Amino acid sequence: MARFDPMKKGKPPASYRGLAQSIKGTKLSEKTVQKAITEAFKKGLISVVAAKSLEYRREHALEEQLLERFRDLQMAIVISTDNKEDVHKSLGHALAQQIHESKFMFRAGDIIGLGTGRGIHYTIENLVDLTQVPVENITIMSLTGSLFPQGVSNNLDYLLDADTNAALFTKHFRGLIQVRPISYPIAHQEAARKILTKETWLSPDEYAAHTPTLAIIGLGVLTGNNRLVQEVQRPADAKSPVLKPVYTYLQSIITEVESIKKEYNGYCAVGDCCNRLFIIPPPADINERIIPRLKKTLKPLIDTVNECTITATEEQLRMIKNVILVAGGSEKASGILCVLTKESGNISGILQEVPRIDGICIDKESAEFILQRPDNNA
């Protein structure tokens, strides 16, 4: 609410007269503004609640260990928090602070790519609340299509799409800003997919001419609170028609993932990065037993879904100069390790690609898991 915006900078709330004068193109009186705000409170249209402060700690020792072990990493942020429900908010706050303190993170002419996920949303939300950066000619690109353009969800899900966050991110900059969404997430037929891709910046020529200089991406696993899992579990009349071409395949993947997870001590077999699925290497002690199921059951289903997806390809992600991964939750640790070590490139004959990562922002549990695993685990 505009009345309380000055308080973010330690100033008193705006006066009713000041609010009336700030609304351009109108001649509102101070009394009219006061009455409108009072009525809005009575009708429950607005409310004032105490903001809950985030309590987390930077684990600098773990950050140094990650940088030492993974020499390709240029930045490592590790946070710990006692409130696991706030892990994504804390990760977003920590990454936003790091970006804000790095005075030369954004330069004139930069092209910023954004993926999908809670960590990314909270990073941008925090950056928008900070001082605007006066840089010219910034382009903000969505790396993935919008999974929920119909607005079928009334919670945070809609705000997690890269298209939505690309638009929100413009508020962090002061100058000429261009936004490039994708909009289309899925196309079942190859001909339609090629046509739709050409209409976006993902077309080969367009992407080559406007390759992002920096990208912030997330990573998920196909279980629990993953958006694809939640979407498939919705009642039939509430399902998004956007994902209709891949519902059957997704359901089969999720069923198999949950079966493997229950049978093999919590191992989650499928990861999700920029709306592309990949197989997470299993722990060494179950490697031989699980590989046939990964190859014969999961891999064909994953390939089918990925072939329908309109999103940045792994090759396109590799062209980006700097890629920052923000992800939290212990279930994602194996997936984070996978992209750090690039071990998913060839898992006993399962050929696939994963993004190249230059910086990470993760939680303590994930960092400890990663550092305890041997380099040759695949």
Instruction: Decide if 172 contacts 131 (C-beta within 8 A).
Output: no
Q: What is the pLDDT of residue 257?
A: 95
3-state secondary structure of 138: strand
Contacts 24+ apart (CB under 8 A), 159-166: 159/121, 160/116, 160/117, 160/118, 160/120, 160/121, 160/227, 161/116, 162/114, 162/115, 162/116, 162/120, 165/114, 165/116, 165/120, 165/121, 165/124, 166/114, 166/140, 166/141, 166/142
Give the residue ranges of DSSP H helices in the chain: 16-22, 30-42, 60-69, 87-101, 118-129, 162-169, 190-198, 204-209, 227-232, 247-263, 287-293, 299-308, 314-318, 333-341, 364-372
**Alpha-carbon gap, residue 91 to 9, rounded angstroms:** 22
CB 272 within 8 A of CB 223: no
Residue ranges for the chain with pLDDT beneath 70: 1-14, 16-27, 33, 43-53, 148-159, 287, 343-349, 351, 375-378
Q: 301 and 278 in contact (C-beta within 8 Å)?
A: no
Burial of 39 (0-12, 13-18, 19+ CB in 10 A): exposed
Q: Kindly state the DSSP code that residue 142 receives in the 8-state scheme.
A: E
SS3 363: strand
String of DSSP letters for 65-129: HHHHH-TT-SEEEEEE-S-GGGHHHHHHHHHHHHHHHSTTSS-TT-EEEE--SHHHHHHHHHHHH
Q: For the chain, list the domains and their CATH numbers.
A: 2-42 (no CATH), 57-372 (3.40.50.1360)
- Name the β-bridge partners of 134: none
- SS3 (DSSP) at 308: helix
- The residue written with tokens 């196309």 in the block is 187
CA distance linking residue 63 with residue 369, whole number of Å: 13
Contact 247, 232 (CB under 8 A): yes
**pLDDT tens string 59-68:** 999 999 999 9
At residue 276, what is the residue type? R
As given in the structure block, the two tokens for residue 48 are 């004032």
Residue 270 CB contacts under 8 Å (≥ 6 apart), including other chains: 221, 222, 253, 257, 277, 278, 279, 280, 298, 302
Neighbours of 268 (CB within 10 A): 23
Residue with tokens 């990493």: 73
> What's the rounded Cα separation, in Å, for the pair 169 and 92?
13
Whole-angstrom distance, CA of residue 347 vs CA of residue 338: 11
Residue 209's pLDDT is: 92
- φ, ψ of residue 359 to 5 degrees: the values are -145, 150
In 3-state terms, what secondary structure has residue 241?
A: helix
Residue with tokens 């409130």: 83
The string of pLDDT tens digits covering residues 131-146 is: 888 888 999 999 998 7
How much is the CA Rg of the chain, to the nearest whole Å?
Answer: 22
